[in-house]
Structure 1
Amino acid sequence: MSRKKRYFKNIILNDPKFGSYIISKFINYILNNGKKNKAQNIFYYSLNFFSLKFNKNPIYLFKKVLKNTQPLFELKKKKIGGISYQIPYKITLKRSLMFSMKWIIFFSKKRIENGFKNKLVGELIDSYLGISNTIKKKDEIHKLSEINKAYSNFKL
């Protein structure tokens, strides 16, 4: 018998307002010091303001933002013969969603506006319009993976 401890994934419940798994996952990424109610208030405020700006369904707008910011490739470093190569490879939908959500939160924290709610609204609007830093990051990764396409035959 194996003596390794088995780890089970935590089941993430759908969010109470929209009943969406993706939104509850995003709220968990916003979460700071276990204050989930505060994270929910921040996200629902920013999503409401974002949907009022464009007069569309908030879930549709949020999914559009995530689709705009999802990367298709990831670069990993591999050392071969003393030289480090950045090897591009395709990533799964789950992993690309994770990158997208983390980048949106990271770049919204770096914005200049007052309060995290307003910063998140600004980042969501810019991501929807295609001019945010998250989209620049995605495009940068795609360019690097295009440049390093020659090394894609190396296996990790």
Structure 2
Amino acid sequence: MRKRKPKKREILPDPKFGDMVVTKFVNNLMESGKKSIAYSIFYSALERAEEKLRKDDPTISGLEIFKKALANVTPAVEVKSRRVGGANFQVPTEVRPERKQSLAMKWLILYARRRNERTMMDKLANEIIAASKGEGAAVKKKDDTHRMAEANKAFSHFRF
């Protein structure tokens, strides 16, 4: 590289929980720069998820549900295409911690948007609940990614 690496931008923790992960999630959720709308969608989705899971565990908080969902969606390995001798190989590689987190957030949001509920709050709440239980489309995406890496383990010597 000719230039030095760009500095990481500092992000401020969110106003309600004081958590940087929540701010990153809301930044991914945001469309057209409407951050206040993204915050309201996220907070109300957490409240709905908390209400639905209160019957099982009365002490659980929305933030705990969200953290558990994010942990269940976070991938450990992924496959990257490498061209070796005229052929393309899917080479399994470990995922950097920042990328793990961003992939998990993007998958949660993507599959929440694809759900069939009425509002984005309902979609996000139900996807977070499903992910915290270890089911749902985002967790399936992580499992598929891991399965793909496992199937292509023979090409891991092309990693460089």
Specify the TM-score bucket, using the shorter chain as the normaliser: over 0.9
Match runs of 1:29-48 below 5 Å: 29-48=28-47
Name the structure 2 match of 1:12: 11
Q: What is the aligned counterpart of 2:142 among 126, 138, 146?
A: 138
Which sections of structure 2, spanning at least 5 residues, go unmatched? 55-59
**Matched-pair contact (CA < 8 Å) for 2:93–2:159:** no
Q: What is the aligned counterpart of 2:69 among 43, 58, 65?
A: 65
The one-letter code of the counterpart of 1:129 is K
Which sections of structure 1, spanning at least 5 residues, go unmatched? none
The one-letter code of the counterpart of 2:81 is K
Q: Report how far residue 7 of structure 1 moved.
A: 3.0
Normalising to structure 2: TM-score of the pair? 0.91
Deviations 1:45-67 (A, max 9, x none): 00111112222112211110011
Using the alignment, how far apart are the partners of 2:5 and 2:46 within structure 1?
Answer: 38
Q: Report how far residue 122 of structure 1 moved.
A: 1.3
Name the structure 2 match of 1:128: 132
Deviations 1:104-155 (A, max 9, x none): 0001111111111111111111111222001111111111101111111112
Greater shift, 53-62 or 70-79, is seen at 53-62
Determine what percentage of the aligned residue pairs are the same residue.
37
Name the structure 2 match of 1:149: 153
